[in-house]
Structure formats: C-alpha cells, structure tokens
Structure 1
Amino acid sequence: MLVCAENASWNKNLAGTGGRSKRELLDNLDSWRANSETDTGRIPLLPEFYSSKDVLKMEVEKIFRKEWICAGHISELKKPGDYLTFDLVGHPILVVRDRSDELRAFSNVCRHRSARLVDGSGNTRLLVCPYHAWTYELDGKLRGAPLMKPEQVKDVCLNDLRLEVWQGLIFVNLDQQAEPLAPRLESLQEEIGQFNLAEMEVVHTYDDEVDCNWKVLVENFCESYHVFRVHKTTLEPDTPTSSVEVMPGGPGYNHHTMSCVTAATANNKDNREHLSCIYPGLTFAIRSASVIWLSIQPLKYNRLKMRAWVAKDLSAGRATESEFKTEMELVAAFMAEDKIINTGVQKGLECGVGNCGPLNEMEKTNWQFSQYVASKLLG
C-alpha cells in the first residue's frame, strides 16, 4: 500500500510539472510527428502532452492567443447596442454591435484603471465603466471622463480586437497579425454551405467545465467511433457508428459525416449529419435544420471550460415546448455521457501508459487535429 501511495504521489507531481524540460517535450513531439503514421496505423499524441503545465503554457501562447476563437452567433447580436462577453485564456472580451450596425470586438477593460466594463450579455446605449464612470461609445471611442480635462483623454479608446464572421459564427483573435480565417475554411464552406448557418437562430446556450485537458474533449467530438458504445441509447439509434465517413479536411479543420435516420431532408441534400472541428477548439454537429456547437478552451492542464450553443432554422416555425424540452434533454444526456468518459480518459493519460494506438480509421480526424497542435507548438 505504501508503494502504491508513493507512486500515486509521484504521478500527480509528474503531471503537474510535465516531468521534462521544454526542449525535451518539443523533441519528443517532433519525433512523434515524424513517426506517427506506421504500418499498423496512426499513433495518438503522447500522453505527456495532456498532463503538463509547460505544454499548456506553450499552447496558450502559440495557439489560443494567436488563433480564431468562436464568441457566438450573429443572431445573438441583432440590434445596435446588443453585446456579449467572454474570457479567452484570461483576456476579457466584449463583442458589440455598434450604431453603424457593425460588429466590433474589444478588450472588456476600461483604459483608465483596468476595470471590467460589462458582464454577461444584453443591450446598452453606452459602455460605462463601473469604477469611475468613464464612458465609451459603442465603437470604442471615449465619450467622457468625469472631472478630467478633454485634452487629457482625447486619444483614449478601447483596445480593438480582430473580428471575423464565418457562416454566421463570430470569431475573435487576440493577434493583430493573424491570417484571416475564411480562406482556410473554403473547402468546409462547400461541404456545409447548404445548411445556411447564418440564417439560423440561437435557441439555447450553456456553460460548463470538465476535469480533463482541453484536447481530450476536442478529440472526443472530432470522432464518432465511440458513439456505438458511449451513446448506444442516445445517439447510436439515429446516427449509427457504422455509417461514419471521414472527409479529407483542410489546414484549419477536420470533418466527418454520419447517416441520420430521422433527419428531415428539406435542407439536407445528403441526409447526413456533418461533424466538424475548426481548430483549435470549435466543434459542431449539423443536421437538417439545427446545429449544436461548442467553443472549448483550457483553464488548467487538466480542466477546461466550454460554451455550447443550439441554433435552429425557424423558417418552418418554432418547436413546441414539449419538443424543445425533449431535444434539450437529449443534448444534456449525451453531453453527460461524454463528460464521464473524458474525465476518466484524463486520469488514464496522467498515469502515462495509454495512447499507444493504433487509431481506428474513423479517428483519422483526431490524428489530423494532433498534427495541427504539433505544427503550432513546433512552428
């Protein structure tokens, strides 16, 4: 018993520190990338890349502070003054529709003494700091600062962030030099353009946290090989695992489809559910006239936060209260199933003996995602 306790303590410390130097981690990653396709199949990413604080630091700097992250959907910000907020790896962000009907993204921070400007979502005429009442227009320009001379604050404005809308989804980027998002998603646009995501309306959102590395949950939604086992009564009857088809993917995403037994075909030309991951952390599933998507980011090496949205094509009318309740119960059920599995996966990764592979062909999307992560950390 004493030996087991000592081993458990050591594994915990190893997970917390990474156990290797940054150079050793990157050398191992480079070796994995060069040898991850073998005669027997593709090999998953090394366990240490899910259980290291040092890896997480690199991911925050090289991925989350440089990539496009989903903030919401245009249906949430219809009128001038509509706004939403979220934090991206510790950076408070505000997205607002200004009086010119343009969407803007700012650091949600007053330029005076760094107070958070607004919380949650809603509608406002002006952005008023709760600390000293410095007041900003919706385009970020300072309108007034109590008891200050105009010449003192004439050049003050909110910190502007990059914003791009793709298929109705709002993306924000902390890196002013980042390449635009749309070009890397051209092939995906061809695959899912039929669904008109920009015309859908968000009908439900919720936030959650899960005790696993952010990549574990992303990978979970990148593949549907697990559906027959984990979701055998919730999803498998409608989207059978045997019907999975992995699509080629592209530099900024992966994509697979499944047959959808009960999907209405009015807007779905091929009667299939489309599941995609836009790197680094946006995953979504589209069927007929509805879509659910998640935006995932790390909190710790072994804990993540996510925001989920459900949107629908309401052109044929809203679902009845009973239908909506049934659908949300299904979403809650399969999300709970994934949460249980993925917290267990994290514990397995931290002991360091898993992820030997080989991956199933349906998990090629996971390998593509891992290649993306490796390219960013090694680049």
Structure 2
Amino acid sequence: MSLAQPVSELLEAVNRPLEDAHAMPPAVYTSPDFLACELESIFSREWICVGRSSGLPNVGDYLTYDLAGQPIVVLRGKDGQIRAFSNVCLHRMSTLVDGCGNKRLLVCPYHAWTYDLDGKLRGAPFMTRTTGFCKEDYALPQIRCEEWLGWIYITLDKDRPSLAPALAPLEELIAHYGVENYVECFRETHVWDTNWKVLAENFMESYHLPVCHAATVGGHSKLEEMECPPGLEAFNYHWITKEASLPMGNAHPDNTRLEGRWRKTTALITLYPSHLITLTPGYFWYLSLHPKGAGQVAIVFGGGLAPEFMADPRAEEYVATLKGLLDEVNAEDRGCTEKVFRGLSANAARPGHLSYLERPIYDFMHYIAERTAGFDRSAALAAE
C-alpha cells in the first residue's frame, strides 16, 4: 500500500464536520508507509515525554529511550541538572547503557571507553599509540531536553520551539492541582500489539470506561457529567467526575488547594503526539507512546501520588493499591486495544461515526492530518 491511500482517506475524514465525524480510516493505522511518515514528521521532530524528574532524584540516575531510531540516555548530572545525550559510544558505536539505574560514569560495555556525566570522554584504554587521538576532542552529542511541570521531554529537532509556551494554556487549566509537586512512585516499560494511535485514542476518551473497565473503574465514572471542550493546538483534554474507586482518587483532607467539585474531578489530557495523563486530586498516572511498527507500541507507564498522600503515614499502602488497580486497568486496555488493531487489519473494517464523548479523537485526527498530510488546522482551531 502506498502512502497516497491513507493520506487521501485521512483528508476525507478530517474534512467532515464534528457532528458527522467518523473514526480515522484503517490504513492510517496499518500502513507501514504511513508509519514511516509519522516517524519522520512527528517523532523525529516533536517533544516526547520520557518520564518524571522526580524519578531521577540522585546524581547519576539515568533512563534510556529510543526516539525515532536514536538511542538516548537521560541523566542527572553532578550539578543536579537533567540532560540528554546520544547513548552511542564515539569509538565503535556500541550503545552505552540499557534500561535505567544509577551510574557514576558511563562505561562502554565493548571497549570500556568512559564518559563523565556531562558527556565528556574521561578515559580510553590503550589509545596512547594512536597519534591522532585526543581525548578532549570527544564528547557525547547532547540532545535537547526540557522539563515541564515535573515531566522530562526530549526532541531530536534542534530548531523546535521550546515546549512551555505551547503548553501555557494547559498549565493554567490544571494549575490548581499542583502536579509539579506530585511524586512518581513507579515507572515501567511495556510493548503491546497494537498501533500507537489506537492506544492514544483509547486513553483520550472515557466512552469505553463502563464496558472495557466494568470490573475496575467503569462503574465509578459519570459519563453524563463528562465535559469534552475543543482541543487546542498542542493538546486536547476532558474532565470527568468520579466517585473515587481509590481513597486517593479524591483530594486528601490536608489538600487546601482544591475546592468544591475540583476535589473529585479528574482531568484526562493528551499532549501531542503521545503523552497521555490522568490527573486526579490525589494521584496521577501517564503513558508515553512510541511506535515499534504499525502493529506494536512501546509504552512508558508511570504514576504516583500528590504530596499530601506522599506525606501520609499510609503512603506505601496507597502506592501499592494504586499500582495494583492500574495494572488491572492496563490489562483491560491492552485487551481492548489489541482487539481493535486486529479488527483494523480486516478487509471488512470500516470507520463508523464518533460519539460526542469522543470529541478529543476528532481533534487528534486533525493533528495527525496536519503533521502527515499537510492539512491546515488553523481554520478549525480559530473557529473554536
């Protein structure tokens, strides 16, 4: 399948008005050519979330991430700053570190070339007879890295505008939660057998909660009270009132920031392209997605507690309860989203109408069309 078919079908879909909106066409999810376009026009250029700064509390703490085929290491330096570097040795080009952990130095596992936490080459065994070699000429290429409300983002685009201005409207919307003070208590990586956009869309709508999550959180979500405002340029969001299925789903008694209905209101946020956040008065959790092929998605999954719950004597119990519930929720979502991708691959697959509860998917579709198919989103954004 060439790129022309999914692009043509996507442009037809985004030109429908909201009241007659359809889901994106199957080829947008299943075409390898469309995925290659996404890697070039989205993941090689956008800001991508890799975790929380509170998850790297100590000097030498690091995590690794593969962004559009580029291995990257993110670490906290001796000066306390978080930076990102190419995770590729400058000798014979082995990757340096895997997973996450703590290192005093970055030591290549192939020939033990050793780098300081600022990326500078510190040592290279048996190089004294190489007359052209000068240790000071070697330093790991730095990757752009920024923090926003406690999250860490990286981009391969040296000219990409800074993240904060585009997210200023969102920062204002959620300021009363104080999410910058929430503490990450767990971070994991997973791979599911579905397209990254299927999982993104699943996260950004609550229409599926009563069915897909009937055994967990579905019965606690009031869809009739859900608000789906129009999305903005860099994100979409919706609000939902929940009768908390967890003690920390509502605001802690010591929380004086939130009043009235905000003490039990949850924000569900999609920061384009692939950072997905559930923010409640007492806890948060998030996914950051990256395609591993049309039919697989690499997932960073993390979460934690608001400061009042972290200060509570029962904090460890709350973390364990939260993690247990979210593992069940993820298992339910995995089943649903993998079924969707199998369905998308069928010859009989056809996109149907969207519910008004799926408004964020309509906005996400416009973002994807802008980045991959040259769609002009400005008129739609201006009209809202």
What's the TM-score, normalizing by structure 1? 0.89
Letter in 2 for 1:188: L
Aligned with 1:239 (options 210, 221, 224)? 221
Q: How does 1:90-129 map to 2 (within 5 A)?
A: 90-129=69-108
Could you say which residue in structure 2 is the equivalent of 1:37?
17
SS of 1:300 mapped into structure 2? coil
Q: Contact 2:210–2:221 at 8 Å: present in 1 too?
A: no
Could you say which residue in structure 2 is the equivalent of 1:159?
141
SS of 1:96 mapped into structure 2? strand
Q: Deviations over 1:192-234 (max 9, x none)?
A: 1222222222112222221111100000001001112211231
Letter in 2 for 1:32: A
Mapped pair 1:317 → 2:299: no
What's the TM-score, normalizing by structure 2? 0.88
Distance 1:57 1:93 in 2: 20
Distance 1:115 1:317 in 2: 45
Mapped pair 1:372 → 2:351: no
SS of 2:367 mapped into structure 1? helix
Distance 1:61 1:135 in 2: 32
Mapped pair 1:295 → 2:281: no
SS of 1:256 mapped into structure 2? strand
Could you say which residue in structure 2 is the equivalent of 1:327?
322
Q: Deviations over 1:2-52 (max 9, x none)?
A: xxxxxxxxxxxxxxxxx3x2234333333333x2226x5212111111111
Q: Contact 1:89–1:299 at 8 Å: present in 2 too?
A: no
Mapped pair 1:211 → 2:206: no
Q: Contact 1:185–1:250 at 8 Å: present in 2 too?
A: no
Structure 1 unpaired stretches of 5+: 1-18
Mapped pair 1:340 → 2:335: yes
Could you say which residue in structure 2 is the equivalent of 1:230?
212
User: After the TM superposition, which of the residue ranges 262-271 and 165-174 deviates more from structure 2?
Assistant: 262-271
| CA separation of 1:268 and 1:236: change in aligned 2, threshold 3 A | farther
Could you say which residue in structure 1 is the equivalent of 2:275?
282
Distance 2:298 2:258 in 1: 31
Q: Contact 1:201–1:314 at 8 Å: present in 2 too?
A: yes
> How far does residue 321 in structure 1 lie from its aligned partner after superposition?
4.9
Q: Deviations over 1:80-123 (max 9, x none)?
A: 21211122233211001111211110111111111111122222
Distance 1:76 1:323 in 2: 18
Distance 2:103 2:190 in 1: 27
* Count of residue pairs brought into register by the alignment: 358
Could you say which residue in structure 1 is the equivalent of 2:112?
133
Q: Contact 1:45–1:355 at 8 Å: present in 2 too?
A: no
Could you say which residue in structure 1 is the equivalent of 2:37?
58
Mapped pair 1:22 → 2:3: yes
Structure 2 unpaired stretches of 5+: 375-384
Q: Contact 1:264–1:288 at 8 Å: present in 2 too?
A: yes
Q: Deviations over 1:257-284 (max 9, x none)?
A: 1002234333444130000011111111
Q: Contact 1:76–1:202 at 8 Å: present in 2 too?
A: yes
Q: Contact 1:228–1:240 at 8 Å: present in 2 too?
A: no
Aligned with 1:86 (options 65, 89, 100)? 65
Letter in 1 for 2:16: S
Letter in 2 for 1:127: L
Percent of pairs with identical residues: 35
> How far does residue 317 in structure 1 lie from its aligned partner after superposition?
2.2
Distance 2:73 2:145 in 1: 11
| CA separation of 1:364 and 1:125: change in aligned 2, threshold 3 A | same
Letter in 2 for 1:182: A
Letter in 2 for 1:27: S
SS of 1:152 mapped into structure 2? coil
CA RMSD of superposed structures (Å): 1.9
Distance 2:52 2:319 in 1: 20
Could you say which residue in structure 2 is the equivalent of 1:16?
none
Mapped pair 1:202 → 2:197: no
> How far does residue 301 in structure 1 lie from its aligned partner after superposition?
0.5
| CA separation of 1:325 and 1:177: change in aligned 2, threshold 3 A | same
| CA separation of 1:349 and 1:338: change in aligned 2, threshold 3 A | same
